[in-house]
Amino acid sequence: MSPADERPGDGGSGDAVVVPGEDGTGRVGGAGGFETRAIHAGQPPDPATGAVIPPISISTTFVQAAPGRPGRYEYARSANPTREALETCLAALEEGREAFAFSSGMAAEDALARALLRPGDRVLLGRDAYGGTLRLFSRVLAEAGITWSSVPLTDPAALAEHWPEDTRLVWVETPSNPRLEIVDVAAVAEVAHRRGAQVVVDNTFATPYLQQPLRLGADAVVHSATKYLGGHSDVVAGAVVTDDPGLGERLRFLQNATGAVPGPFDVYLLLRGIKTLAVRMERHCANAAAVADLLAGHPAVARVVHPGRPDHPGHAVAARQMRGFGGMVAAVLAGGEDAAVDLVARTRLFTLAESLGGVESLIEHPARMTHSGAADTDLAVDPGLVRLSVGLETLDDLLDDLRRALDGIGDGTSAVS
């Protein structure tokens, strides 16, 4: 077979070849299995040069045939070919109609909230939420007249019973950050839709490889692409994916009108990272399960929180709506806050840092770090809790690092106290 025969998109070499975007379903890049879409959707070989990797398009402006007669592209905030490749790929991975890339996860959340909410509307958050999401609703959007409350989304029956009448939107994180709570997306969507509200799922922790919220009934998916999608802790970006054409139109307008778009180099890093998303997630899941087992067997640990464990209250729902249980693990230390702070200072391979989802393992103390802003709210985090983003290092090295750090807790040799 000549290299030309292998080209996705030329359609001439038999049924092994996938043609991104031309599967007849109306979904962009919807053809092929997940890994195939991750590698090819939106990224056919460059028609000008045959380059297998789409070029990074850096031009901010594009020639017009006559005044007011632009070609396909006009100005790079409005549309950029590299960004479009990413958006096509993300839509294909979430099995949505359209995706919109943003310069950060928070920019994506802000645009999505503006697209869905008006003054006087209420949004429901879970009992556990990313600190930045809580800050966006409580300190930014509250000033625009949008109210929020935190309710146990893990209990859809209670949600139906205690439904505030002004609710327009339910904002779901599953698994949630940092307590890894699991929300039954289909059940919550049914409750919300019956009452005329919409449902957003922050799919940052699961990624579309493990969970596809649009297929479970969500109206939109939001991502911090900074985490697993990028996967290498070297790019800040966000995205929204939806099936709803009206919402898509509002997002396209807001993306251009407010302008928080990612640059082409960042977009390239995301496209590159996403190609290995499936294999990375498989190993993140396997390593995290082994780390959870180690933690569960250690006397310094009071409780392990991981949706893959049968004692996790959301285990059955996670097993139903996810392909795997993810790479995040949390643990409550028997010695409380002092032990937690001691542990995160003792690990070596598990680097003490915020963020998650990269190839390297990280550990953090949410109550003092990512979630310090939630201290006096319903969403305050147990100060004895540590959160681990289990990376792709050699598993035995990860387990040795944790075992040694756990064994040393409280012996007075830690670097901080």
Which residue out of 110, 121, 184, 202 is catalytically annotated?
202
Q: Active-site residue 227, yes or no?
A: yes
User: Minimum distance from CB of 114 to ligand PLP (Å)?
Assistant: 16
Give the nearest residue (CB) to ligand PLP.
105
User: Minimum distance from CB of 103 to ligand PLP (Å)?
Assistant: 8
Give the residue with the Cβ less far from ligand PLP, 270 or 343: 270
User: Minimum distance from CB of 292 to ligand PLP (Å)?
Assistant: 19
Q: Active-site residue 397, yes or no?
A: no
User: Minimum distance from CB of 50 to ligand PLP (Å)?
Assistant: 34
Which residue out of 97, 130, 184, 346 is catalytically annotated?
130
Which residue out of 27, 83, 227, 387 is catalytically annotated?
227
Q: What span, in angstroms and rounded, lies between the C-alpha atoms of 392 and 280?
A: 8
Give the residue with the Cβ less far from ligand PLP, 329 or 406: 329
Give the residue with the Cβ less far from ligand PLP, 205 or 350: 205
The DSSP line for 331-365 is: EEETTHHHHHHHHHHH-SSSEE-S---SSS-EEE-
Instruction: Please give the structure tokens belonging to residue 406.
Output: 């756990």
Give the residue with the Cβ less far from ligand PLP, 104 or 150: 104
Q: Active-site residue 202, yes or no?
A: yes
Counting other chains too, the contacts that 349-355 makes at CB distance below 8 Å and 24 or more residues apart are: 349/393, 349/397, 349/398, 349/401, 350/388, 350/398, 350/401, 350/402, 350/405, 355/226, 355/227, 355/233, 355/389
Instruction: Please give the structure tokens belonging to residue 278.
Output: 């499936």
Give the residue with the Cβ less far from ligand PLP, 200 or 339: 200
Please classify residue 239 by burial: count the beta carbons closer than 10 Å to its beta carbon, then call 0-12 exposed, 13-18 middle and 19+ buried.
buried
Reduced 3-state DSSP string for 155-169: CHHHHHHCCCCCEEE
What length is written for the chain?
A: 417
Give the residue with the Cβ less far from ligand PLP, 82 or 233: 233
Binding site for ligand PLP (CB under 6 A): 104-106, 130, 132-133, 173, 177, 202, 204-205, 224, 226-227, 236, 238
User: Minimum distance from CB of 179 to ligand PLP (Å)?
Assistant: 12
The DSSP line for 92-158 is: HHHT-SEEEEESSHHHHHHHHHHHH--TT-EEEE-SS--HHHHHIIIIIGGGGT-EEEE--TT-HHH
Residue pair 94/219 in contact by the 8 Å Cβ criterion: no
Q: Active-site residue 268, yes or no?
A: no
Please classify residue 232 by burial: count the beta carbons closer than 10 Å to its beta carbon, then call 0-12 exposed, 13-18 middle and 19+ buried.
middle
User: Minimum distance from CB of 204 to ligand PLP (Å)?
Assistant: 4
* Residues classed as catalytic: 77, 130, 202, 227
